[in-house]
Amino acid sequence: MQGRPSSSLPSPHSDLAPSSPLRESLNVTELLQVFKRLAQYSRLVLGLYRSPGISKAQKALLFIAIGYTVSPVDLIPGFIPVAGQLDDMLVALGIISAVISSLPEDVSQPLLQQAGLNRATLKMIRIY
């Protein structure tokens, strides 16, 4: 009885360069750090929403982020373990990051400090 010839199957991500954004986005340690900071992100959203330095359009974006996370209608349904919650988190963090990036430093910095964050910890996990 002959055994099958051994063939090495390519990794699902073998076509990605070692430093590609997608490969970096799959870093579990970084993802766990984002989960640990969820309470801080919530404080940041509340501070942003209450701040007089934020435009109505930016507040509308924050409202969309909150609405998306609590809505049962998602890109990936919430009943799918991990992936359903992960897409909510990525959309919300992307919107928060966009709002913070659009603000002047003198407006965003105090809000980030109040939430216990800085621009480096607000780094969005890139999936593109």
End-to-end CA distance of the chain: 47
Higher-confidence residue of 30 and 71: namely: 71
Residue whose tokens read 């991500």? 13
- Over residues 86-102, the mean pLDDT reads 87
Q: Is the pLDDT of residue 49 over 50?
A: yes
Q: What is the pLDDT of residue 12?
A: 44
> How many whole angstroms separate alpha carbon 90 and alpha carbon 93?
5
Residue 35, pLDDT above cutoff 60: yes
User: What per-residue confidence (pLDDT) applies to 82?
Assistant: 80
Residue 40 CA to chain centroid, in angstroms? 13
Across the range 11-30, mean pLDDT stands at 50
| pTM of the predicted structure, to 2 decimals | 0.68
For residue 71, give both structure tokens: 């809505």
Which whole number is the average pLDDT over 79-98?
Answer: 84
User: Is the Cβ–Cβ distance between 68 and 84 less than 8 Å?
Assistant: no
Asked if 88 and 70 touch (Cβ cutoff 8 Å), the reply is no
> Which carries the bigger pLDDT value, residue 124 or residue 103?
103
What is the structure's pLDDT at 115? 93
Look at 66 and 4; give whichever has higher pLDDT.
Answer: 66
Tokens 């009943």 belong to which residue?
79
Token reading at 101: 């990036």
Q: Give CA separation, 76 vs 67, 71, 104, in Å.
A: 15, 11, 34
* pLDDT on residue 128: 36
Question: Could you tell me which residue, 100 or 125, shows the higher pLDDT?
Answer: 100
| pLDDT score of 2 | 52
